[in-house]
Amino acid sequence: MARKLKVGVLASGGGTNLQAIIDRAADGRIDAEVAIVISDVRDAYALERARIAGIHYAFIDPRDLPNRDAPPHDRRASFNRAVIQKLRDHDVELVALAGYLRITSDEFVDAFEGRIMNIHPSLIPSFCGKGMHGLRVHQAALDYGVKVSGCTVHFVTKEVDAGPIIIQRTAPVLDDDTPETLQARILEQEYQAYSEAIQLFAEGRLRIVGRRVRVVAREGA
Ligand code: GRF
């Protein structure tokens, strides 16, 4: 049996991408196991999904850290440190952001350099960047009138939504789409894209070369 990559998932919301990863890890479609799920939102349904699946989970309260009187920057730093520590406690090798609404700190990115992925529900560099999340992304795509949208899995760097792209998958935009119908169509592509990216990482086949990510052949292939 292939060694399983230990993945830590960070999620702030419903966690359907998390569920897709859990399901594919459980049935062996990806050589990974979700070692810990962390949320910055106490009642995020993602945590409930982890509980149901018997996976470790933790809520880390961004407002409830020892130095709550410290300036916001310091509080953010201690929150990020707590998240880094929790991931390390569970020997996480790859961090997957899945609907995680916080911007990762530089310290966080340094701690897991080249080992943090994010999924975004558009074809980056369209409709991305600070404040672009959830239905806003799909509304922006509809307002612009694009005929094709999709999703992007990318490595996380210090600039929001700007890291090297691993996989993109497309979905058509239909005349009668609402942000909700477009979101649902793209989510189906997200589940596929994220597990493909995680599997490639697990197989050690991703090489970051400048802005590009190259997929190398499987060893022995
Ligand atoms: C997804 O559309 C993902 O691309 C974005 O946030 C959404 C999370 O959805 N980053 P879910 O919580 O996985 O259902």
Instruction: Give per-residue pLDDT as tens, 51-80.
Output: 999 999 999 999 866 665 666 666 678 899
pLDDT of 126-159, one tens digit each? 999 999 999 999 999 999 999 999 999 999 999 9
User: Which residue among 120, 133, 138, 154 is the active-site one?
Assistant: 120
Instruction: Mark whether 73 is an active-site residue.
Output: no
d(CA 96, CA 100): 9
Closest atom of ligand 1 relative to the 118 alpha carbon: 10
**Burial tier of 163 (Cβ tally within 10 Å: 0-12, 13-18, 19+):** buried
Average pLDDT, the chain: 94
Parallel, antiparallel, or unpaired: how do β-strands 148-155 and 116-120 relate? antiparallel
Question: What pTM does this model have?
Answer: 0.95
Q: Quick check: CB of 17 below 6 Å from ligand 1?
A: yes
Q: Quick check: CB of 99 below 6 Å from ligand 1?
A: yes
Nearest Cα residue to atom 9 of ligand 1: 99
In a mutational test of the pocket of ligand 1, which residue from 190, 192, 194 has the highest number of ligand atoms less than 8 Å from its CB?
Answer: 190
